[in-house]
Structure 1
Amino acid sequence: MKLKLILLFLIIAVSLPAEVITFLPSYRKVVFLTFDACETKTPSYFDKKILDFLIKNKIPATFFISGKFANRNRETLSEISKYNFFSIQNHSYDHNLHMEKMTDADIEMDLNKTSQLIAEITGKKPSLFRFPGGNYDNRSLKLVEDLGYRVVHWSFESGDPDKKMTSDLIFEKVKRNVKRGSIMIFHINGRGWHTSEALPQIINYLNSEGYHLELLENFLKNEKFN
């Protein structure tokens, strides 16, 4: 009987589908603030207004950083990695918007190169990954998971890369869509045009509604207790 149970467990474990996390159920009123940071056609840097606000208010935030962005922003990345309310994660090296078209070898090389660079700068290797543009297929997803990463995307888009999205529009979109377990996505590479103006409104609203901000990494480590 014991052998049958072990075999059944192994069969289930092997057949479990790869997973993209877009929402994290919890009995607690917890939500997650995430920021993407990648290179654009021109050199990109951390949005200082956003960083200053997050640091001043000690707001838990998870940053998905591309390798090129990390390399260009080494000093700032090293500094912010010292805050225990920040988490630095992998967002690929070149920010290829169609990693599903890359070979297995190229995907593995890309992720390893990025994680090694982030570990070199921050002293800690990422455990989470976010596909650029949210684009993937079953093969690329399984490969990333086999490399030891959990893939985390988002519950809804804030729309902040759109210049037409004013701070009020961003706030209203968050207010309309956020709920317990939501993973919010913004940009901190200078392409979140009105994000720094919207954040105080968003944080005040979340606090007034009793939401608790938490790091993805910490929550996932203790998932069964949340």
Structure 2
Amino acid sequence: MKSLFIPLFLISYIFANEDYEYIKNSIEMKYKNQTPKQWGENVTGVKSKLNTNEKSIVLTMDACGSKKGMGYDKEIIDFLIKEKIPAVLFINARWIDNNLSTFKSLASNPLFEIANHGFKHKPASVTGKEIYKIKGTENISELVDEIELNSQKIEQITNKRPKYFRSGTAYYDEIAVQIANDLNYEVIGYSILGDAGATFNETQVEKSISKSKSGDIILIHFNHPKSGTKNGLIKAVKKLKKDGYKFVSLSDYSLK
């Protein structure tokens, strides 16, 4: 079956002209008879490493916007700015709504690239599949909304459309990943689970992140300031830098 790749300029044109249903209908037609066979964090098409042997690492940080996840760990951000460490920030629409001035400040800092973490923080499914008692997007139409409504929100505020998508919970079926690709996103997983949804204590965070090697993508959260993430991250980053590792952005390398 031929790819439904939609050029970025055309997507922007369609959204600007309020013809959003055109994209959804086209994608529904392409995938309506396909049934996903995979479900997980590392299904076909999810990128979880940099394509490099250099001592380069990417720090990706999520802000999920759940009822208990509306916080902002300013000390993590202040540390990254002081050390000039770039990070890719995957941000959910609900977190943006509750932290708008902070979001604008982060988006204006060239150290940080804003990425798409979904509109309602749902797992990316075309059948409503569930994980961690969180029901995924029910169908293709809802999946497109989950991706694109948050992207539109980000673009309206920052004047820049995000290039990367990570679903709520980082779970996908492979059809959902293909649809995100058709919409011009690379779907980003991880190779280092840095804080396990901000549940790790400081020692666990430090130990996990300190294991990073060339090309790893680290996943942590910056919306839980009372967690062990901050102190564990700071200690691990200092170790890694001492060992000759540098922190880069996703866009600095191709992904695999």
**TM-score, length-normalised on structure 1?**
0.83
Cα distance per residue 1:130-180 (max 9 Å; x no partner): 1221211121111111111000110021235354x32122111222x3110
Aligned residues: 207
1:174 aligns with 2:200: no
Change (3 A) 1:35 1:82: same
- Flag the 1:44–1:154 CA change in 2: closer, same or farther, 3 A: same
Partners of 1:115 and 1:43 in 2: how far apart?
20
TM-score, normalised relative to structure 2: 0.74
Correspondence list, 1:10-89, <5 A: 19-42=45-68, 44-89=70-115
C-alpha separation in 2, matches of 1:27 and 1:174: 18
Which structure carries more helix by proportion?
A: 1
For residue 189 of structure 1, report the CA deviation from its aligned partner.
Answer: 1.0
What runs of 5+ residues in structure 2 fail to find an aligned partner? 4-42, 129-137
Question: Is 1:92 equivalent to 2:118 in the alignment?
Answer: yes
Q: Deviations along 1:102-132, whole A, 9 cap, x unmatched?
A: 2111111221110111112222110100122
Which residue of structure 2 aligns with residue 6 of structure 1?
none
- Which residue, out of 197, 200, 211, partners 2:234? 200
Give me the whole-angstrom Cα distance separating, in 2, the residues matched to 1:43 and 1:197. 18
Could you list the runs of 5+ residues in structure 1 that have no partner in the other structure?
1-9, 12-16
Moved more, 166-175 or 55-64: 166-175
Contact preservation (8 Å) 1:160, 1:192: no
**Match of residue 214 from structure 1:** 248
